[in-house]
Amino acid sequence: MVKQAIRIFARVKPSRKPAGIYSVSNEEERASSLEILVPRDLADGFVNNKRESYKFRFQETFDQDVKQDTIFESIAKPVAESVLTGYNGTIFAYGQTGSGKTFTITGGAERYSDRGIIPRTLSYMFEQFQKDSSKVYTAHVSYLEIYNECGYDLLDPRHEASKLEDLPKVTIMEDPDQNIHLKNLSLLQASNEEEALNLLFLGDTNRMIAETPMNQASTRSHCIFTIHVSSKEPGSATVRRSKLHLVDLAGSERVAKTGVGGQLLTEAKYINLSLHYLEQVIIALAEKNRSHIPYRNSMMTSVLRDSLGGNCMTTMIATLSLDKRNIDESISTCRFAQRVALIKNEAILNEETDPQLIIVRLRKEIQGLKGELALLTGEQRTEELTEDETLRLEEQVRGFLEDRDPESSLDMGADMRKIQYCFAFIKLLHGKKEEESRASSPVNAAERPSSSAPRPEEIKKLRDILQQRDNEINILVSMLKKEKKKTQDAMFEMAPSRLNAPTRHSDSSAQSGSLDQSPKSSVSAAVEDQMGSQEWRSHSFPRKTGEEMSLGRQEAFEIFKRDYPDRVTIEDNKRLLKQRFAEAKSLGEEVNKVRSRINQMKGDVEQRRIQRAALGIFSSSDEQNQYDPVEEELREQMEEEKKRYKGLFSRLKNLKTEIEHLQLLLEKAKVKLQKDFEGWWVEEAAHLQAKQEVHKARMATSAPPSPQVHEQSRAPRMLDTPIPLTGDSQTDADILAFVRARQNLLQRRGKP
């Protein structure tokens, strides 16, 4: 059992605006202090006795210039290590809207270095799974969203990237032991890092995001990403199960300050209410004499019951936005963190015995006890032994007879049928051995001066010598064939004709081609295949969009994409991905070259061994065992090439992980671009349709125009020239929507 208080950290968000007056002090060991200075307002001559200085203590305070990798190493890595050893862990970020909680937990989508705690933790855990070969690890992932006090499963496989209302609702169930169970929450297995990152990307796509006055892309819900880890040593019945909650809380904000309304106001009320219940639970846990903790007031506190005062190692990150207008919210966040630090958790090693292994062991024990009981009572079994049982008994008897250890024993149980079968099999083996010795005695009697039968050791030795001679003869025959072939090649080379040059060239190319096309040298081919698939992905998005859209919408989409704010980021990621592909391709070619050199050196070493074995037939054993400096030099070169191969392969593996993450970022950016365009297009079409209805109403109230005027007035003059329409309602709507969109985009650019 590990008893410790919840660890608290503070992170200051970078700001371009003038920040409030604050200072960070890291003079104390394993602790730091954050001091916030609030100047007094002496306007109109009124006396203000408000405090000017607020000082708070944290385990560590991260200033504006701290990067994501430092946050992971200091905060998330110790928690992940404890989860791998069998303890539960929780990391949650708390702060106001726009203070950087989602960036800290999930990360940004612009650069690879902006990865947050969740993708870095997944990468670290699967790396540790591969390093630790003494245990068998399995990992499962779940992603829960709490929106307006209702739980939703973000990883539902039946509704990929669907509306939030279509996702299955998650309900809380409690067993008699007061353990919380979440109904309808998917728990999906991730066998490697790529599958886990794909699940994270799917959950982030389904997540509820809206624009608020405090943040352009504000998460309007609490999200809990959980990693379930189980580990077991081979042959052991003990299983360790642990879980890691990575919680991204919704931002606390003052509704009166933001001035939001409608759906955003409802979301803000639910968010503030759930955070209020969370604060009530923390205050109750900090008080020693409280007998009741109000976990059931909200869904979030019910799910995080173990993380708050339970069996868990919990860490909190207080994200602060120290702009002058956000000083009050930042001070409130720091006060909340100080109350959280008073809570103490008791983390227990989660070990349990695998019931399946216990059942197997008990069945074996029951079978053995039944056999002993039958042996003691004299009960006779009439059924015959099965074929599998007899084969197993014969293997045990052969192993017992071949074992030279005098203390070895033959364990066949307390079954008289098995005992009698083993004695009969031993007698059969002894009879076969005597027949073989009698059959071989006339042949060897003339070679020995004595008339006694040959011993089994001598027969075995003679057989070994005969086998060795056969091997030597085969080696000599193969060498003679090679020498004969070399002689023929030399005779062809001496001929003045040049017809053999292309033949030799084709032979060498065929040999090199066969070497390059071996299954082991497919690294560069795999990289080229991956590049081809990536190029197909990058070109498939616009092509698919063009097939689904009409010509007007396609042209509007191209203009929208050209003026899209994140276009520069997408192009930078594409360029970086292309560079990584080029590096991976060059590394793959280098790996293949190193592997070819290693195979060539192996062949040279084997050739020298065959030559020395053939020479050993006609020379003494001392000459055969002499030191070969050429072979030793080849072995040293092989070791150097193997080290280089391992280094290149490790770099290639790291590049593959980075390429896959960049691909995910590009897919996510493309999905966001498509969603933004669809929303913009619907808005423009609705506006244009409303304008058409007004125009039709005006035309209906006015006098009927002439036919020429009527043909020209069918379309509103949004540009300098009249717009020709086709008569088809859907096509006309697309044309008018495109004209409206183009005019708006030209106005945004400053063109008339």
Residue ranges at the known binding site for ATP = 95-102
500-516 and 567-618 are packed helices; what angle lies between their axes, rounded to 10 degrees? 110
Residue 137: burial class (beta carbons within 10 Å; 0-12, 13-18, 19+): middle
Beta bridge mates, 96 = 252
Question: Three-state DSSP class for 35?
Answer: strand
Nearest alpha carbon to residue 147 among 96, 215, 207, 217: 207
Nearest alpha carbon to residue 33 among 51, 14, 54: 54
Beta pairing, strands 188-189 & 136-147: antiparallel
What is the residue whose two structure tokens read 């599998």? 388
Judge contact between 313 and 82, C-beta under 8 A: yes
The region, left, alpha or beta by phi > 0 then psi within -120 to 50, assigned to residue 100 is left
Helices (H) and strands (E) in the chain, counts: 21, 19
127 CA to centre of own chain: 9
Largest pairwise CA distance in the chain: 140
Residue 286: burial class (beta carbons within 10 Å; 0-12, 13-18, 19+): middle
What is the residue whose two structure tokens read 């110790």? 78
Question: Three-state DSSP class for 7?
Answer: strand
Tokens of 61: 């305070």
Residue 547: burial class (beta carbons within 10 Å; 0-12, 13-18, 19+): exposed
CA neighbours closer than 13 Å in the CB half-sphere of residue 295? 18
Question: Three-state DSSP class for 121?
Answer: helix
Beta bridge mates, 33 = 25, 57
- Would you report the helix, strand and coil content of the chain in percent, each value rounded to 5? 55, 15, 30
Q: Which amino acids are annotated as binding site, given as ranges?
A: 95-102
Nearest alpha carbon to residue 143 among 129, 163, 124, 157: 157
Using alpha carbons only, how large is the chain's radius of gyration in Å? 39
